[in-house]
Structures are given as structure tokens and as C-alpha cells.
Amino acid sequence: MNSTASTDELPSSTAPLAGVRVVEVSSFVAAPLCGMTLAALGADVIRVDPIGGAADYRRWPVTDGNESIYWAGLNKGKRSLAADFRSPEAQNLIRDLIIDAGVLVTNAAGRSWLDYDELAAIRPDLIHVQVLGRADGTGAVDYTVNAAAGFPQVTGAENVSTPVNHVLPAWDVSCGLYAALSVASAVYRREITGAGTRVVLPLEDVAFATVGNLGYIAEAQLGRPVREKVGNSVYGTYGADFATSDGARFMLVALTPRHFRDLTELTGTAEAVAALESALDVDFRDEGTRFEHRHVLNSLFGAWFSRHTADEVETALGGTSVLHERYRTFAELAADPRVTDNPMFHKLDQPRIGSYHAPSTPMSFDGRYPEVRPAPANGDDTAEVLTEHLGLTDDEIDALAASGTIRISQKEHA
């Protein structure tokens, strides 16, 4: 193992999904995140890619040597098999691996050799998870799905009329975790009943379900007022960002009456806020009322922040119940003790890229986190997988490699 061993690592033999084997045929975020999550939980995840890598193999961010840091992050702990997807012989090998493993996770559509009906006819207890763009099978990605989900129309500054996209691929992340939950649930069901499962998970439906679960669809259908952009405020409660005297910014949220009371006391505005309540005939113990009058409250509180440095503000807020955080860059976060001293992160020596802190899962099990293992290069484990699971001999593997059906990496030649 290339990652630094730690007493807080969960041994792979006792990980929750130890003994489960998964074949992953995927690209980009959702399906690879599913496979990475399953691998972190102990499953043996074999990522099958075209020779040279799928469309995401060189995706940004990359190193100076054009190695994808992104790809390494989403494929930790997997094994890699590389094959010529156009070759019928390679397709048969991949099909046999899926049948042997019993679990397939894929976002590749339109390939008969990955079709559920054909595979389940050979292995009836197959677990087949298909991630789609839309339920009708047409293509979609996170950023196009988000355009339909309504959020860009309520994101951004109050005086900006154009839609504002998110940067975080939230629907991909949610979809990947739903997919991992689907596999874990289907494995449990198979253990109990012996039945296989076909799971179809459209990315668009992940977004629409979330919009519905948060009440936004019902809000519109019930004729509530059209939601507008509120900048960095938090809809329906009190939340705002403030600048300090030295140019830093903090995000504050006061969800409860106690939070709000502490904020007024900290900023020396308790009397002014009480007078405002009286003048407006309102009660700021109600979070909706705090939201409705956020602009005048922001002016009252903002004066205090503008008179203090970031360090002074951080110290003062630390002595209150107010929910707060200083805005930080990725670089600042990378050096933060909440990363560098966090047992969820392990120092990983990632071949071709370098050494850095890489996360395990946010979940600990009995006080320990699953181990962190490097991501493979394209085809790093082709020979090993074919020997271990399909029983191919060295001569057979060499012949397949010579014909271009599979790729054996330099690692396996070593």
C-alpha cells in the first residue's frame, strides 16, 4: 500500500463491503464517485476503460505532466483494466468479468454487451446500476440538469437578472452517492432473497427529487410568491456575509433566537435591534421575520465587523453560539489543520502525481476510517484481473495484448 499506515484506518478485511466485487464502466463524476465510495467501504472495484483512458482520464485539474489530479481523486482504491471496446473479444472478456463479479455500475449507454437483459439472462442475481442523464435516455450533465432545476434563477446577487450557475457539481455528487446506496441496498437484498436488481438512476431525477424534497416544487404549485435572488443571504432565516477591516469576509447564520441574541450582544446592537422591533412591530425571535428585514439588520451588524480585523472577529465569534466561518480559498483549506490533522485524511503517495492529503470517507466505523489507496493508471491491473477472475494464462494474456485487445501496463511488465 502506498498510503501511510495509521492506527485509525479500518482494515480492508473488516470493511463493511469486504467480499463484494464491482465492475465499473464509467466516466466523469457520478458513476466514478459511486465506485470510489464502494471501494473505500471495502469492495473490490475494477474500473474497465478503453485503452488510453476514457473521456475523463486527462480532465482538469492536471499536473505539469498532464496527469489528471481530478481522475486520481475519484478513482482511489480501484483496479484498472484497459481493453479495446470495439473488439468483440474484449467485449466478451468484459461481459465475463461482470458475470463473475455480479455487480455492474455504469453510465455508458447503448452498448449491448452492458445491457441488463443480456447479462441477467446469464446471471439472474446480477446487480446492474445504470446512471443516465435523463429518464428517457437522452444525454445530460450536471450543469445542464441544474439549468432545469431552478437554482440558477435564485443564485447570485439581488440585482443580477441573469442565471448564475453553481461551481460544485452537486447533482453528480448526489447521484454518485445514491448509486452507491443502490449497490449496498441491492447487495443486502440479494443476500436475503437471492434476487438480482436492476437500478436505473437518471441524473435529472436526482436533481428534481431534491428540488421536490426541499419543498420548492410544492411551494410553486401551491401558488406561493416567486422566489427571487437573495445574494449570500439564507432564504427564510437570517444569514449574511460581512467584511472585516482588513478585507476578510465571514459568513454568519443565526437560525435560533439564541444565535440572534448572541449576535446582537456581540455587535453591541441589542438596544438598536429592540428599538427596530418596536418601530416595525415585529418579533425577531421568528427566523422568517429576520429574513424579511435582513437588509436593515445587515447595516446594523456590518458596522461592527468593519471596525474589527479578521482575527478579532474570529476570536469574538468563537465565544458565542453564532454559526460562522471565514471565507477561505482552496489553498487556505489545503493548509488548514482541519485537513492536515484530520484522521479522515491520509498522506497518499499517488504515482505520477505526488504526495498529498487524500480523504477517505467522511464516515468512520467504530472510530476508524477506511484506508486510502492510490488510483491506478489506465490498465495497471489488466493481467492481474484476467488471471485472478477469468483464469487466463500468461500466454493467453500476452496474445490478447499483442493483438491490441487489451493493454498491459508497464507496472505489470515490471
pLDDT (tens digit, 9 = 90+) per residue, 280-307?
A: 999 999 999 999 999 999 999 999 999 9
Q: Which of 180, 1, 167 is nearest to 74 (CA)?
A: 180
Average pLDDT, integer, range 237-259: 98
Least Cα distance to 268 among 308, 295, 241, 234 occurs for 308
User: Quick one: 78 and 139 in the same domain?
Assistant: yes
Using a pLDDT cut of 90, give the percent of the chain over it: 94
Same domain, 288 and 402: no
Active-site annotation, residues: 172
- Determine the Cα–Cα distance for residues 119 and 124; give it in Å rounded to an integer: 8
Q: Considering the domain boundaries, does residue 106 fall inside one?
A: yes
pLDDT at residue 7 tops 90: no
Of 6 and 235, more confident: 235
Domain end among 289, 311, 326: 326
> How far is residue 156 from each of residues 163, 216, 249, measured CA to CA in Å?
8, 18, 17
Q: How far apart, in Å, are the Cα atoms of 301 and each of 113, 262, 295? A: 62, 12, 10
Say whether both 48 and 103 belong to one domain: yes
pLDDT value of position 238: 98
139 part of a folded domain:
yes
What local confidence, expressed as pLDDT, does residue 409 receive?
82
Could you tell me if residue 340 is inside a domain?
no
Q: Mean of the pLDDT values across residues 5-11?
A: 54
The boundaries of the domain holding residue 118 are: 21-212+372-407
Cα–Cα dist 269/263, whole Å: 8
Pairing label, strands 323-326, 103-106: unpaired
Q: Are residues 33 and 140 in the same domain?
A: yes
Of residues 413 and 167, more confidence is placed in 167
User: What CATH number should be reported for the domain holding residue 53?
Assistant: 3.40.50.10540
Residue 6 pLDDT exceeds 50: no
State mean pLDDT over 155-176.
Answer: 96
How many Cα atoms occupy the beta-carbon half-sphere of 213 within 13 Å? 6
The verdict on 176 and 259 lying in the same domain is no
| CA pair distance 178, 204, nearest whole angstrom | 13
Residue 21, pLDDT above cutoff 90: yes
Q: Is residue 360 part of a domain?
A: no
pLDDT at position 10 is 67
Give the pLDDT of residue 290. Answer: 98
Total number of domains constituting the chain: 2
Q: Average pLDDT over the chain, rounded to whole?
A: 95
pTM for this entry: 0.94
State residue 398's pLDDT score. Answer: 96
User: Cα 366–367–370 angle (5° rounding)?
Assistant: 85
Please tell me the predicted confidence (pLDDT) of residue 412. 56
Amino acid at 371: E
Within a domain: 123: yes
Asked if residue 172 has pLDDT above 80, the reply is yes
pLDDT confidence of residue 411: 67
> Last residue of some domain: 326, 345, 361?
326
Same domain, 177 and 244: no
Q: Would you say residue 34 lies in a domain?
A: yes
At 14 the pLDDT is 77
Same-domain status, 153 and 250: no
- The confidence score (pLDDT) of residue 410 equals 67
pLDDT score for 20: 97
pLDDT at res. 51: 97
Q: Are residues 269 and 137 in the same domain?
A: no
**pLDDT (0 to 100) of residue 120:** 98
**57 shares a domain with 109:** yes
On whether both 59 and 202 belong to a single domain, the answer is yes
Give yes or no: residues 192 and 59 share one domain: yes
Q: Which residues of 87-103 are buried (b: 16+ CB within 10 A; e: fewer)?
A: beebbebbbebbbbbbb
Residue 220 domain-assigned (yes or no): no
pLDDT digits (tens, 9 = 90+) for 382-396: 999 999 999 999 999
- Structural domain includes residue 350: no
Q: Which of 294, 326, 358 is the last residue of a domain?
A: 326
Same domain, 32 and 143: yes
In this structure, what DSSP letter does residue 109 have? -
Instruction: State the average pLDDT over residues 349-378.
Output: 95
